[in-house]
């Protein structure tokens, strides 16, 4: 075979291989789109795919999808309107339902293996599609910038990385209010099995002001990141999430009066700084646990807050039972406020769901579930106050599960609460509240505390006032004594 023939055969083989790879990439990407859009409405009753098209070519494709968020038109909850005199009232309902929101997205797809000049199964440019009316409204907020865009690189294993951008927005109502948002950026990385997710988020800042009252709210830079495992479903996603808000400030020098020209009493300026937010969730032996913590420092008026910290969470939550309850809740249009009957119908649907899942809820009690406020701590001027409480079930047996829910709760329910506050804070609170007549004067605080001590409601620990409450095995104790033994 001549050299020219060999080169020709090699070129043909390369072209065939590239063409085959491109065909494979195009087929795989379409399959990914189809699967994602088929699964989306199965997650919740409040999201639906109402229109979709996929025009596939050899080197690329264009997907246009319209989703609807809110109650479906045929089940939309109607607003409560007082009937006119002489009209029949039908549970405060009118004939016109709330309209759900529709969003249309266009995805411009380039097939690999060289997609848009990069080695990938595909690259996708996504944008929000607006009609003429919506475009005019969007330009009032975002100017000529596109409100939402995304660039996605899809790997050959099906994993992808998406870079999302929300444009900065500004709204000014001359002489009344102003809203300035500096936009947001996010990077999301998902593995091929759709079980591992990592994201990084940045929001540079937000400023809102009310010219009439002088009230302002300012948020500094917000950053966040997470590494999550969603193999058990997104409701039971596990892993760690971290966030940091540089500052938050709220000021209302003229109060929050709503009447034209009215001024209320000035509120103290609230300034919080270096706010860290942490969350952690895990599943072990089929039991779900999660904790969330927020901490930082700041100032309220002239009072400096050296430190504040709040942690809350749940432990030993039966994962399968929790997922079953959450799925049923999200998929019920009635519970989510859709359909005729308004709030009453929603409450009735919720009660029906609770009745249906009562056996599952009771079964969850066997695992000693617990949740609550693990810590609320504040430090001011070297003084520390702390409050906590937890509620749960302990020692539930199969025999206990035969009892009605309330009887089970009264027998096996456990509630613990603790409080520690500096006496000085109680006096300062009394002094502030006495000005408006909402609290007794400061000179009465000591006497009230002494009465509380005599009845065993509170105890003194140095300069602090403490109290402990515990309900377990059907009895209530305060500071270690049964309620019936108080004051003895």
Beta strands in 230-367 (DSSP E): 238-252, 267-284, 287-300, 303-318
Would you report the helix, strand and coil content of the chain in percent, each value rounded to 5? Answer: 30, 45, 30
Domain that holds residue 71: 16-79+96-167
Last-in-domain residue among 284, 304, 332: 284
- pLDDT > 60? residue 269: yes
Residues 185 and 245 in one domain: yes
> 361 phi and psi, to 5 degrees?
-65, -40
Q: Which of 21-25, 248-252, 310-314, 332-336 has the lowest mean pLDDT?
A: 21-25
C-alpha span between 82 and 80 (Å, rounded): 7
Residue with tokens 């070519």: 57
C-alpha span between 341 and 77 (Å, rounded): 8
- Token pair of 468 as six digits: 């402990």
In a domain, 121, yes or no: yes
In a domain, 422, yes or no: yes
Residues 103 and 58 in one domain: yes
In a domain, 354, yes or no: no
In a domain, 384, yes or no: no
Residues 23 and 151 in one domain: yes
Residues 207 and 245 in one domain: yes
Residue with tokens 């795989």: 28
Last-in-domain residue among 146, 167, 188: 167
- Token pair of 95 as six digits: 């004939």
Tens-digit pLDDT profile for residues 323-355: 988 888 888 877 777 767 667 777 887 788 777
Residues 128 and 20 in one domain: yes
Beta strands in 39-115 (DSSP E): 47-56, 60-69, 101-111, 114-115
Residue with tokens 């000529």: 144
Contact by Cβ (8 Å): 338, 76: yes
C-alpha span between 171 and 179 (Å, rounded): 5
Residues 121 and 191 in one domain: no
Q: Write down the pLDDT at residue 487.
A: 36
- Token pair of 170 as six digits: 């500004």
- The torsion defined by the Cα of 210, 216, 220 and 225, in degrees rounded to 10, comes to -70
Q: Write down the pLDDT at residue 336.
A: 73
Residues 225 and 156 in one domain: no
Stronger pLDDT, 91 or 56, i.e. the higher one: 56
Polymer length of the chain? 488
> 173 phi and psi, to 5 degrees?
-105, 100
C-alpha span between 343 and 36 (Å, rounded): 33
| CA-closest candidate to residue 111, choices 188, 53, 32 | 32
Q: Write down the pLDDT at residue 260.
A: 52
Stronger pLDDT, 185 or 483, i.e. the higher one: 185
- pLDDT > 80? residue 18: no
| CA-closest candidate to residue 31, choices 63, 7, 2, 4 | 63
- Token pair of 182 as six digits: 């500096």
In a domain, 440, yes or no: yes
Tens-digit pLDDT profile for residues 428-449: 777 766 565 666 677 777 888 8
Residues 145 and 267 in one domain: no
Residues 60 and 118 in one domain: yes
Contact by Cβ (8 Å): 380, 301: no
Residues 189 and 265 in one domain: yes
What is the rounded average pLDDT for all residues in the chain?
Answer: 83
Tens-digit pLDDT profile for residues 69-86: 888 765 544 444 344 444
* Three-class SS state of 243: strand
Stronger pLDDT, 484 or 250, i.e. the higher one: 250
In a domain, 70, yes or no: yes
Residues 244 and 121 in one domain: no
Ramachandran area for residue 444 (φ above 0: left; ψ -120 to 50: alpha; else beta):
alpha
Q: Write down the pLDDT at residue 94.
A: 42
Q: Write down the pLDDT at residue 469.
A: 95
* Three-class SS state of 396: coil
Q: Write down the pLDDT at residue 79.
A: 44
Last-in-domain residue among 167, 198, 228: 167
- pLDDT > 60? residue 93: no
Residues 160 and 35 in one domain: yes
Dihedral sign of CA atoms 327, 328, 334, 335 in order: negative
- pLDDT > 80? residue 425: yes
What's the domain count of the chain?
3
In a domain, 479, yes or no: yes
- pLDDT > 90? residue 384: yes
In a domain, 295, yes or no: no
- pLDDT > 80? residue 231: yes
């Amino acid at each position: 075979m001549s050299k020219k023939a060999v080169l020709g055969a090699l070129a043909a083989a390369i072209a065939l291989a590239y063409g085959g790879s491109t065909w494979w990439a195009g087929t795989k990407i379409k399959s990914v789109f189809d699967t994602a859009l088929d699964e989306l409405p199965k997650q919740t009753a409040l999201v639906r795919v109402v229109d979709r098209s996929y025009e596939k070519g050899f080197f690329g494709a264009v997907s246009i999808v319209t989703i609807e968020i809110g109650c479906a038109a045929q089940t939309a909850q109607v607003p409560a309107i007082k009937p006119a005199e002489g009209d029949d009232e039908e549970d405060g309902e009118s004939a016109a339902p709330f309209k759900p929101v529709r969003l249309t997205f266009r995805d411009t797809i380039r097939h690999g293996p060289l997609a848009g000049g990069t080695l990938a199964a595909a690259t996708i440019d996504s944008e929000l599609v607006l009609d003429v009316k919506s475009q005019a409204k969007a330009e009032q907020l975002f100017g000529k910038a596109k409100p939402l865009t995304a660039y996605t690189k899809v790997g050959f294993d099906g994993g992808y990385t998406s870079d999302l951008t929300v444009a900065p927005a500004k709204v000014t109502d001359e002489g009344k209010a102003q809203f300035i948002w500096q936009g947001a950026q996010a990077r999301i990385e998902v593995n091929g099995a759709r079980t591992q997710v990592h994201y990084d988020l940045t929001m540079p800042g937000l400023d809102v002001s009310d010219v009439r009252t002088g009230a302002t709210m300012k948020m500094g830079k917000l950053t966040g990141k997470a590494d999550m495992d969603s193999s058990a479903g997104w409701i039971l996603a596990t892993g760690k999430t971290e966030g940091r808000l540089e500052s938050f400030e709220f000021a209302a020098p003229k109060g929050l009066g709503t009447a034209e020209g009215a001024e209320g009493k000035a509120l103290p300026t609230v300034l919080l700084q270096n706010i860290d937010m942490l969350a952690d969730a895990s599943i072990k032996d089929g039991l779900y646990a999660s904790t969330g913590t927020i901490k930082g420092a700041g100032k309220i008026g002239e009072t400096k807050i050296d430190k504040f910290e709040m942690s809350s969470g749940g432990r030993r939550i039966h994962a399968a039972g929790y997922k079953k309850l959450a799925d049923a809740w999200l998929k019920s249009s009635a519970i989510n406020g859709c359909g005729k009957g308004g709030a009453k119908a929603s409450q009735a649907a919720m009660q029906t769901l609770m009745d249906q899942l009562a056996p599952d809820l009771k079964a969850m009690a066997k695992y000693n579930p617990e949740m609550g406020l693990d810590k609320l701590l504040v430090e001011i001027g070297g003084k520390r106050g702390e409050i906590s409480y937890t509620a749960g079930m302990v020692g539930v047996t199969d025999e206990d599960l035969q009892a009605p829910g309330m009887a089970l709760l009264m027998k096996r329910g456990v509630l613990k609460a603790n409080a520690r506050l500096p006496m000085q804070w109680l006096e300062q609170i009394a002094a502030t509240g006495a000005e408006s007549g909402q609290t007794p004067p400061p000179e009465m605080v000591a006497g009230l505390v002494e009465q509380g001590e005599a009845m065993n409601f509170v105890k003194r620990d140095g300069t602090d006032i403490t109290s402990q409450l515990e309900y377990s095995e059907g009895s209530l104790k305060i500071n270690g004594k049964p309620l019936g033994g108080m004051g003895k």
